[in-house]
Amino acid sequence: MANLEQAEVQVRDHMIHCAGCEGRIESALKKLPGVLTVKADHRTQKVQVGLDPAKVSLQAVQDKLAAMGYEAS
């Protein structure tokens, strides 16, 4: 059974603009092996992630966000 670790990434001010941005983030991060849950929120500029640290690191999640144009603050 996977070891679930909860993490939260604060994205720089107003980079997540709308529900469409939330959907793109959630879809892309769910494709990373080891990411079990994702919830992006444009109002708070936060991305909450449930991940298996044996399969994916928080840094890999932050790198994916940055590659998509959403830099962590």
Q: At what angle do helices 19-30 and 58-67 cross, to 10 degrees?
A: 130
The CATH number of 5-67, from 3.60.15.10, 3.30.70.100, 3.20.20.150, 3.40.50.2300, is 3.30.70.100
Domain residue spans of the chain:
5-67
Q: What is the mean pLDDT of residues 46-57?
A: 96
Please name the helix (run of DSSP H) or strand (run of DSSP E) that holds residue 20, with its range, or none: helix 19-30
Considering the chain, what percentage of its residues have pLDDT values greater than 90?
88
Spatial distance between the Cα atoms of 66 and 68, rounded to a whole number of angstroms = 5
Is pTM beyond 0.85? Reply is: yes
Q: What is the pLDDT of residues 5-33, one digit of tens each?
A: 999 999 988 899 999 999 999 999 999 99
Contact call for residues 16 and 65 (beta carbons, < 8 A) = no
Contact call for residues 72 and 12 (beta carbons, < 8 A) = yes
pLDDT for res 2: 64
Spatial distance between the Cα atoms of 59 and 21, rounded to a whole number of angstroms = 20
